[in-house]
Amino acid sequence: MTALKNDRFLRALLKQPVDVTPVWMMRQAGRYLPEYRASRAKAGDFMSLCMNPAFACEVTMQPLDRYPQLDAAILFSDILTIPDAMGQGLYFETGEGPRFKKVVSTLADIEALPIPDPQKDLGYVMDAVSTIRRELNGRVPLIGFAGSPWTLATYMVEGGSSKDYRKTKTMLYDNPQALHLLLDKLAQTVTSYLNGQIMAGAQAVQIFDSWGGSLSAAAYQEFSLAYMKKIVSGLIREHEGRKVPVILFTKNGGLWLESIADAGADALGLDWTCDIGSARARVGDKVALQGNMDPTVLYAKPEAIRTEVGRILASYGKGSGHVFNLGHGITPEVDPEHAGAFLRAVHELSAQYHE
């Protein structure tokens, strides 16, 4: 494989020295970009975009072509490819988000779920990873990703998005045996899926625990973090002669940073409700930190964006181990010029912290 021209993202995740703080954005390939909307229209719908490696590569590359400051690419896909491969029939309703033709509600439903083979059942994702790596040609590292077992389970039990996870939490308390079986199957699947992405060319991986923060402290440990630990322990951690860093991101997980830091990953993603300086003090040198500007700051004027970037950099302080990101995904209504101002500010303002 081609040597990396810019590896500061990987270096920062491993707390190695860098010249400036690396930066990327969750959902950096997405609806805020007119070029993405054009590609989606050409593909026909969201799933056609995900399942066609050429389209997935095209939209992965779009933000990199627009913003030379980006220090990483992230595979264009969706966390719900896994439940789809388990036979649940993923589809998207316009304006309604993801839906499934089948839901799981009983132990028998869960026992019947297959554990998909990443090469056979999710081969289109592996093809997308290898296609993107070839197209990147060493420009920046490629991030692979998956949803956490708890987050995937909520979609599978609820049948789509949920505000209160009522069905999943009812199962958690009334029928924990069933939920544990589902989470165990998902942990096995996520592990093999991420390892497949690594073998296909992903140089770092992130686990998105989008809804772990909806749990109580005890339930988070038992039903979310325990399964992420299991995944981390089963991942390929070195490939192509270098380490493959792992990032764990639990939205609204700031109360449990110490526990997450002990899970075996290289970095923690922070949402915007945490102060990054306090988080650094709490986890010490155990892990790198990724984050954590409120995505809605990007609606503000470029001067205000720059001020907030400066505040977060100052809060983290000197030294490596910080990957700048938003505290959640960039939203569709953001002006692309504001995103560019954000990315430029990170590189321009961060050099002083790496002298």
Which residues participate in the annotated binding site for substrate?
A: 27-31, 78, 155, 210, 328
Could you confirm whether 164 is annotated as catalytic? no
Q: Hey, what are 241's tokens?
A: 């002669």
- Residues 172 and 219: beta-carbon distance below 8 Å: yes
Which residue among 7, 8, 11, 27 is the active-site one?
27
Which residue among 7, 71, 78, 84 is the active-site one?
78
Which residue among 36, 155, 165, 193 is the active-site one?
155
The residue type at 32 = Y
Which residue among 37, 40, 66, 282 is the active-site one?
40
Cα–Cα distance measured from residue 132 to residue 97, given in angstroms and rounded to the nearest whole number: 26
Which residue among 31, 66, 99, 282 is the active-site one?
31
Annotated binding site: 27-31, 78, 155, 210, 328
Cα–Cα distance measured from residue 322 to residue 292, given in angstroms and rounded to the nearest whole number: 10
Cis peptide bond upstream of 195, omega within 30:
no
DSSP, residue by residue, 57-118: HHHHHHHHHH-TT---EE----TTHHHIIIII-EEEETTTEEEESS---SHHHHHT-----H
Contacts of 50 (CB under 8 A, 6+ apart): 56, 76, 77, 78, 81, 124
Could you confirm whether 27 is annotated as catalytic? yes
Could you confirm whether 78 is annotated as catalytic? yes
Could you confirm whether 282 is annotated as catalytic? no
**Which residues have a catalytic role annotated?**
27, 31, 40, 78, 155
